Amino acid sequence: MSPLLNSTQFRAEFPSLADSVHLASCSQGALSSRLTYALHEIGHSLREQGAPWGRWMEEVGRAKERFARLIGARPDEVAVLSCASEAAYQAASSLDWTDRPGIVTTDLEFPSIAHVWLAQGGRGAKVGVAADSGEHVAAEAYEAVIDETVNLVSVPLHTYRNGARLPVEDVTRIAHEHGARVFVDAYQGAGVVPIDVDRLGCDYLVAGSLKYLLGLPGIAFLYVRGGLEPQRDPELTGWFGRTDPFAFDPRLLDFPDDARRYETGTPPVPSAYAANAGFDLLERVDLHDVQAHVSSLVEELAERLSADGEQVASPAGARGPQVAIRDADPDRLAARLAERRIWTAPRGDLLRLSFHYYNDRSDVDAAVDAIRACRRA
């Protein structure tokens, strides 16, 4: 086994950081040399082997196994899909809203997930919203709207808006006490915080590779707790959702007993290569070290920006891997920072600056100095 990388060694895997500051991992992770090689590798397979489906399926299977290991799950508890929205739909479509029509979510949910829940209204679902402070939502707010009519409770591990860590374990306990299932969107944490689905206690969890998992768009992983009985079969399906995908029987609609029942058509092979490039790096670090490193940078940036008079919207005591500041025109501010090759991620009225293990204190200095210069201008 290769020795673990420290933060300096990890940073060296990202040549682009030699002339830029990447503070946009909450939107897209930085480009690593391994990702560049992975994209070359799939092109090479096309050129030299034509249609090496056996090799490609091995790559998809390897990505599934590695994601399962990352979150403390078994590979048969993970389905490979294209995006978080598809994963949320697969979970929702396997639920029966007749006797328990309730879905509980939060306005801090990523809209694409929330939209899936709203769309279940056509099947009889009714969406309730846990009240939030604009920056965070407490477990008590979920408890106030969860009762025996609720079938699904959706809670992000970290909110996309400002990176705040939500009380997932407490919400899960409350939901299960009322007989509801729990869906966790871990997109804004997987890759920079340790995740153990048994400790979280959730029934479903989704994450994808393009952000902190250091891959590209196009692939997402849906964890479904082993033994969780579907209330109905998923509505969206395809040949990889069959017990034997290679039976090629157009008249047989059978569903596997494990999470593969939620898979659909041909998996996203290029994105699986990219995902494995990210896992190559993440398997060479201790995620507890990553979390501590990222947290120190987040706290330092938040303190320095607050001292400069910036309105920090990431709540103290619950900050995840990003710092968000309020701005009248965050897109314009992001563009001005980009002129200095500082990549950030504006959303709504917030500018988000997010960290990974490849960031260091020089990036904090660069961000603080650049924002000060933009304000003076």
Mean pLDDT, rounded, for 241-262: 95
Mean pLDDT, rounded, for 47-60: 94
Instruction: Provide the whole-model pTM.
Output: 0.97
- The Cα 215–Cα 225 span in angstroms is 25
Q: What is the pLDDT of residue 377?
A: 86
For the record, the structure tokens of 358 come out as: 């490849």
Cα-based distances in Å from 319 to 56, 182, 279, 328, 352: 38, 22, 24, 22, 12
Domain ranges in the chain?
A: 7-23+286-376, 43-281
Residue 64: phi, psi to the nearest 5?
-60, -45
CATH number of 7-23+286-376: 3.90.1150.10
Residue 227 reports pLDDT greater than 90: yes
Instruction: Report the candidate in 18, 30, 12 with the shortest Cα–Cα distance to residue 356.
Output: 30
Q: What is the DSSP letter of 241?
A: G
Q: How does pLDDT run across 255-266, given as a tens digit for each residue?
A: 999 999 999 999
Q: What is the pLDDT of residue 2?
A: 77
Mean pLDDT, rounded, for 306-335: 97
Instruction: Name 284's Cβ contacts closer than 8 Å, sequence gap at least 6.
Output: 2, 3, 4, 5, 10
Mean pLDDT, rounded, for 74-81: 98
Total residues belonging to the chain: 377
SS3 call for 344: coil
- The Cα 145–Cα 135 span in angstroms is 19
Q: Which fold has domain 43-281?
A: Aspartate Aminotransferase; domain 2 (3.40.640)
CB-CB contact of 149 with 103 (8 Å): no
